[in-house]
Amino acid sequence: MDCKQAVSFMHDYLDGDLSEQDKQELEHHLFTCPECRMRFKELERTDAMLYGTRHQVPCVSDELTLRIMNALPPHRRVPMAPMLTWVKRHPAVTAAAFFLVIICSSMASFSTTDHQLVVKGSHLDEVVIQGNTVIVPEGKSIAGDLTVQNGKAQVYGDVEGNVTVIDGSYYQASTAHIAGQVKSIDQTLDWIWYKVTDLFEGTSSP
């Protein structure tokens, strides 16, 4: 299965509509492809959040309504009482709109952050850096963990520890050997997820 076909199967997989054979092929591809695995993780999180807004927000409090109205961009004035009534009658739409506002504001804040390449680990003299690409050459060995932030990690040799890629991409050649785990972290998604869950926990507390 190639990446294009894997992406087309992801929605059906989350909806439980894939055949057992297609399900197994997709799971095998996700296990071997870090980029598709990260994309599936993003889709899974979004699907879980939308599911939660449909099933866990039966009503909208006045506090959440006012926070939504204050977060929206200014436009022509609308009487507050009819607007409050409409919001209370359409809780799912209101929650989804506020969710989009949070995503947009979070993405805007992250777009201004520094994206300088950061490489951490021991025995980095064995590592080759070309632009924003960190390469462990074939025949070379790193005795410990390797962390790459805001760049690409390409492993052709040996890493006697974990490989962690933060806000970047990862490639492992067939000649490579990694003793530990391979982790791919998207800080933007983690931040958005934190802000959304923090918001709903705040509105649900007495």
Mean pLDDT of the chain, nearest integer:
75
Which pairing describes strands 133-136 and 182-185: parallel, antiparallel, or unpaired?
unpaired
Average pLDDT, integer, range 56-83: 62
Higher-pLDDT residue of 46, 31: 31
Specify the 3-state DSSP secondary structure of 33: coil
pLDDT at 112: 47
**Distance between CA 175 and CA 154 in Å, rounded?**
11
Average pLDDT, integer, range 176-181: 91
**pLDDT confidence of 45, banded at 50, 70, 90?**
confident
Instruction: Say how many C-beta atoms besides its own lie within 10 A of residue 158's C-beta.
Output: 18
User: Which residues contact residue 177 at a Cβ distance below 8 angstroms, ignoring those fewer than 6 apart?
Assistant: 157, 158, 159
Higher-pLDDT residue of 71, 44: 44
Give the percent of the chain with pLDDT over 90. 17
**pLDDT confidence of 178, banded at 50, 70, 90?**
very high
pLDDT tens-place string over residues 95-136: 666 666 666 665 555 554 457 888 988 778 889 999 899 999
Instruction: Say how many C-beta atoms besides its own lie within 10 A of residue 118's C-beta.
Output: 15
Residue 22 and residue 9 in contact, taking contact as beta carbons nearer than 8 Å = yes
What pTM, to 2 d.p., does this model score? 0.41
pLDDT tens-place string over residues 127-177: 999 989 999 999 999 988 999 988 999 999 999 999 988 888 889 998 999
Six token digits for residue 12: 């059906």
